[in-house]
Structure 1
Amino acid sequence: MSESKVLFVDSNQENHFPQIFPQLPIIKNDRAIWTGISLEYHRQPPFETPEYAIGSYQIGINIGQSFQMERKIDGKWETKQVFPGALGLCPFNLPHELRWHDEMNLLSLNLDREFIVRSALELFNTEQVELLCPMAFQDPLIQQIGLALKAEAQSDGGGSRLYAETMANALAVHLLRHYSTTQGERKINGKWAMCPHKLRWVQDYINDYLERQFSVDELAAIAQLSPYHFSRAFKQSVGISPHQYVIQQRVERAKQLLLQGNMSLSEIAIACGFSHQSHLNRHFKRLTGVTPKTLLKS
């Protein structure tokens, strides 16, 4: 897809469907009846969405045939076979694209951000929590809650508000316990550290784009963690902060380029993400004990 402006979608708006999908949902509950959660049932032809971010947590449940789904987050495409009953969590306010090549029958549950935060406050006594965004996974409880809510939405009068909110509360607690930011971390010596595969994602991303300037928010999104949890977990895993790690990797890359002898110091500085040559010299000497020129002479 050609580069375009990210489409920020408010799922509370009635007209947000044509912005993302080619066809309107077959079933859509009345948001005035249920609080904190809404439901849609989509039957969509093969399609590729624009890059968009949506202001709610969305859970997609495949209630049709198997199909292949591709999702792009932070410039990387992920491809999964979505079997009947498989689920996917849509990232909150994180730009992404989707494309699929067969008809998609999808039940979508939309949870308001405020609803999740309130549940986290009651469950963990903190508002600093984010949900992860796995793709094509199995969870029988979420599937059962989704189908129960679909049946309730199709009942006379649009379904009981009390019933829907009871299901929504059970769903929020389940998500927070099994798919929240704490699931992206593990304890080492009593402290939370990042899971190895998430740490590898971040390190690979840094090394692939070392010439760029990174933000904590950007790296946290790669790890599917909140910025607060990411910084804490990264330092516990690696021993240094994300900023210090990036500087360390830039110096290592500069050392490799210096020994190859094909670039000037100023060119190496820019290629490694330093703002100028003196910036490279300062960090190089601090971490290696010698200046770049001294290394070359030795």
Structure 2
Amino acid sequence: MLQTSNDRQWGHLLAERWSHEPGDLPPQLPRDTEIAILLRGSSVVDREGAGMRQRTFGRRGTVWLCPAGIREDFIRVENQMQECLHLFLPGKPFDDTMLRDLDIDPSGMSIRYETIDRDLFIEHVADRILAELAQETSTGRLLIESLGRALSAHLVHSYAASSVRLKQSYAVQKPLDARRLSRVTEFIDASVEREFTVKDLASVACMSPAHFSRSFKAATGTAPHEYVSRQRLDLAKRLLSTSDRPLVDIAFAAGFSSQANFNRAFRKAVGTTPSLYRARKGQD
């Protein structure tokens, strides 16, 4: 394994970067829905699951999809695959509320065991996750939660095991009304130093997470995690300017798991380190 998101405490998916040597992988019965995306290298991959045999020439962008509960009897890799991203969605990533939001009957919903030559949406999600793995942001958990929900919805739309007919296509999403938006922003302001999820914000607005995210963006022009990121950056600036709290405390208050990650993100956003920012403000 090259890297894992285990230490990030993401609640809605697990991400792992692997390098696979030629040979056989042991049989497995995954508890989670697994999406593997080849990032570097190429190889013929043989696998068998759900009574189906698949032989694929994998190259950059190839996706292997294995739903939760499908036993893979064997996987054989012929050549080295230098880098592969494995995403694991919870055993039941398609909760009933999300499916109803998509106008889909939740009963009997399942995903196909499939190899995909290329999927640009999955590639986009993978790129966002890789960027967060490489450099933590203050709202990484909110971002990953949103990406996990979007990825689940995409699998439902594109890779359902049975034909899924939507009752209606989405209309233009109405913006969050002023009363609900005020409740949500007040909650964010009061809770900016602690962890919360998109589901928490949706509960404040009395909406489902999927509808809330679209309505919030329609009202503010930004996704929830982007809005919270700006609020936490403002908090960090304020604490650096007006308090003598240690940098590590400010890092945790701004949503980072370490001072080093906070330093990198702050410098990228502001153009200077937290220490220099504090020193300059002290001279003003």
The alignment's TM-score, normalised by the length of structure 2, stands at 0.52
2:149 is paired with a residue of what secondary structure? Answer: helix
Q: Which residue of the partner structure matches residue 82 of structure 1? A: 58
How do 1:42-53 and structure 2 match up within 5 A?
42-53=18-29
The answer on whether the counterparts of 1:117 and 1:127 sit within 8 Å (CA) in structure 2 is no
Instruction: Using CA pairs under 8 Å that are at least 6 residues apart, name the structure with larger relative contact order, 1 or 2.
Output: 2
Q: Which residue of the partner structure matches residue 40 of structure 1? A: 16
Question: How many percent of aligned residue pairs carry the same amino acid?
Answer: 20
Q: Which residue of the partner structure matches residue 99 of structure 2? A: 120
Q: Which residue of the partner structure matches residue 272 of structure 1? A: none
- Which of 99, 109, 114 lines up with 2:87 in the alignment? 109
- Which of 130, 137, 154 lines up with 1:174 in the alignment? 154
Q: Deviations over 1:83-102 (max 9, x none)?
A: 21111101321211101011
- Which of 27, 33, 43 lines up with 1:67 in the alignment? 43
Q: Deviations over 1:126-174 (max 9, x none)?
A: 1420011211421111011012111112213697111111111111111
- Offset, 1:65: 1.8
The answer on whether the counterparts of 1:47 and 1:101 sit within 8 Å (CA) in structure 2 is yes
Aligned length: 161
1:135 is paired with a residue of what secondary structure? Answer: strand
How many Å separate the matches in 1 of 2:50 and 2:124?
Answer: 32
How many Å separate the matches in 1 of 2:76 and 2:145?
Answer: 32
The answer on whether the counterparts of 2:43 and 2:77 sit within 8 Å (CA) in structure 1 is yes
The answer on whether the counterparts of 2:36 and 2:63 sit within 8 Å (CA) in structure 1 is yes
How many Å separate the matches in 2 of 1:76 and 1:99?
Answer: 14
Structure 2 letter corresponding to 1:113: G
Q: Deviations over 1:72-130 (max 9, x none)?
A: 22565321101211111013212111010111221011101233234334422414200
- Offset, 1:176: 0.5
Structure 2 letter corresponding to 1:62: L
1:77 is paired with a residue of what secondary structure? Answer: strand
User: Can you give the 5+ residue segments of structure 2 that lack an aligned partner in the other structure?
Assistant: 166-284
1:163 aligns to 2:143 (yes or no): yes
1:126 is paired with a residue of what secondary structure? Answer: coil
- Which of 109, 120, 137 lines up with 1:140 in the alignment? 120
1:89 is paired with a residue of what secondary structure? Answer: strand
How many Å separate the matches in 2 of 1:168 and 1:73?
Answer: 24
Q: Which residue of the partner structure matches residue 168 of structure 2? A: none
The answer on whether the counterparts of 1:65 and 1:83 sit within 8 Å (CA) in structure 2 is yes
- Which of 81, 86, 100 lines up with 2:77 in the alignment? 100
Q: Deviations over 1:47-87 (max 9, x none)?
A: 20122110010111010122110002256532110121111
Q: Which residue of the partner structure matches residue 133 of structure 2? A: 153
Structure 2 letter corresponding to 1:64: R
How do 1:134-283 and structure 2 match up within 5 A?
134-156=114-136, 160-183=140-163
1:120 is paired with a residue of what secondary structure? Answer: helix
Structure 1 residues 94 and 86: CA distance shift in structure 2, 3 A: same
2:9 is paired with a residue of what secondary structure? Answer: coil
Structure 1 residues 174 and 136: CA distance shift in structure 2, 3 A: closer
Tell me which structure has the larger Cα radius of gyration: 1
How many Å separate the matches in 2 of 1:75 and 1:120?
Answer: 27
The answer on whether the counterparts of 1:45 and 1:102 sit within 8 Å (CA) in structure 2 is yes
The answer on whether the counterparts of 1:80 and 1:136 sit within 8 Å (CA) in structure 2 is no
Structure 1 residues 150 and 127: CA distance shift in structure 2, 3 A: farther
The answer on whether the counterparts of 2:35 and 2:64 sit within 8 Å (CA) in structure 1 is yes
How many Å separate the matches in 1 of 2:50 and 2:15?
Answer: 27
How many Å separate the matches in 2 of 1:100 and 1:138?
Answer: 19
Runs ≥4 residues deviating over 6 A? none
2:29 is paired with a residue of what secondary structure? Answer: strand
How many Å separate the matches in 1 of 2:154 and 2:145?
Answer: 14
How many Å separate the matches in 2 of 1:181 and 1:142?
Answer: 18
How many Å separate the matches in 2 of 1:78 and 1:41?
Answer: 23
Q: Say what the alpha-carbon RMSD is for the aligned residues.
A: 2.3
